[in-house]
């Protein structure tokens, strides 16, 4: 099968740009999440940090940063706000005081039940099947991994 090539003019059209499709889809996704997260008192970055901790409590700041692709300069203020809200506690590691462990509080664990309906709401908003969304998620993750390699 011969490779298709776009003309230079076609290649520079906005709708031909995967980066713009991802950017605008991300913007639309954030907008769709907003009312659900507002009801929980969370921003989207705080929500994804909580998702990481609901998967595995007691991670270090750097472990959370690795999972979220965020540096500590971005992550630390976000975690401080979650701490102020009473959802997490930040503790120095007894074995290595340079490391900060993040633990869910009772309120943080309780928030998980309140957040439980959100993925279903987002699946409905996306108007696609679970299989379609799973496949799309996997494709985007593979793209991210290839770009980072």
Q: What is the pLDDT of residues 117-139, one digit of tens each?
A: 999 999 999 999 999 999 999 99
CATH number at residue 61: 1.10.10.10
Q: How many domains does the chain have?
A: 1
Q: Is residue 34 part of a domain?
A: no
Percent of the chain with pLDDT over 90: 85
Q: What's residue 14's pLDDT? A: 94
- Decide: pTM greater than 0.75: yes
Q: What is the pLDDT of residues 5-39, one digit of tens each?
A: 888 888 899 999 999 999 999 999 999 999 999 99
Q: For residue 59, what are the domain limits?
A: 40-115
With contact defined as beta carbons under 8 Å apart, do 62 and 29 qualify? no
Q: Quote the pLDDT of residue 100.
A: 87
Cα–Cα distance for residue pair 57/61, rounded to 1 Å: 11
């Amino acid at each position: 099968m011969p490779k298709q090539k776009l003309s230079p003019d076609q290649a520079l059209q906005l709708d031909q740009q995967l980066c713009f499709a991802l950017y605008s889809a991300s913007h639309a996704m954030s907008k769709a999440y907003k009312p659900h997260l507002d009801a929980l008192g969370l921003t989207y970055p705080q929500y994804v940090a909580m998702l990481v901790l609901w998967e595995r409590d007691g991670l270090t700041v750097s472990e959370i940063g690795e999972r979220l692709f965020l540096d500590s300069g971005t992550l630390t203020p976000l975690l401080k706000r979650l701490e102020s809200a009473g959802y997490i506690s930040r503790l120095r590691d007894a074995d290595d005081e340079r490391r900060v462990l993040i633990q869910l509080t009772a309120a943080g664990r309780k928030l998980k039940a309140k957040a439980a309906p959100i993925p279903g709401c987002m699946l409905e908003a996306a108007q696609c099947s679970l299989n379609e969304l799973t496949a799309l998620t996997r494709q985007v993750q593979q793209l991210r991994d290839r770009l980072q390699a």
